[in-house]
Structure 1
Amino acid sequence: MSEVIFKIPDKLEPPEEELELVEAEAESSELPNSGSLVSDSLDTLSDNCIMLGQIILKNFNRSFIQRVNNYNKELSL
């Protein structure tokens, strides 16, 4: 019976060609100007929050005015 012995290296490193391919893929997949995308998203979120706040205030004002008017009507009766 013959014995086969495999030598396992201490460190496994990919060949240089593979590293270059992986680095090239990583660079091409990066988003250009990702900082501006985040900034635009925050601006949109801020605008949406302001609009939502305005809608809530308008609805609150309407209901408050209706309550005051109803109260005044009850007092005048």
Structure 2
Amino acid sequence: MSIQPKDFPLIDAECVPQLQLQALEIIDEILSGTDPAEESVRRSLGGHVARWPGQPERALLMHMMTVRRPDH
């Protein structure tokens, strides 16, 4: 099952490229980090990016859904 912009009526199809660009910027910021304590986060995100090629917004969403915050 593939999720399409039409599945989210509040997200206009014209906004998708902007959403993808924003997701790419966030992904780049995370993956370019150098803090050794965040290596597992970078590895996780990189795996999601590899699983969802061409869909950075989905990769970022899936990553965010699997990462646990230290205080929870």
Q: Is this a same-fold pair by TM over 0.5?
A: no
TM-score by length of 1: 0.30
Relative contact order (C-alpha < 8 Å, sep 6+): which is higher? Answer: 2
TM-score by length of 2: 0.31
Q: State the structure with more CA Rg.
A: 1
The structure with more helix, counted as a fraction of residues: 1
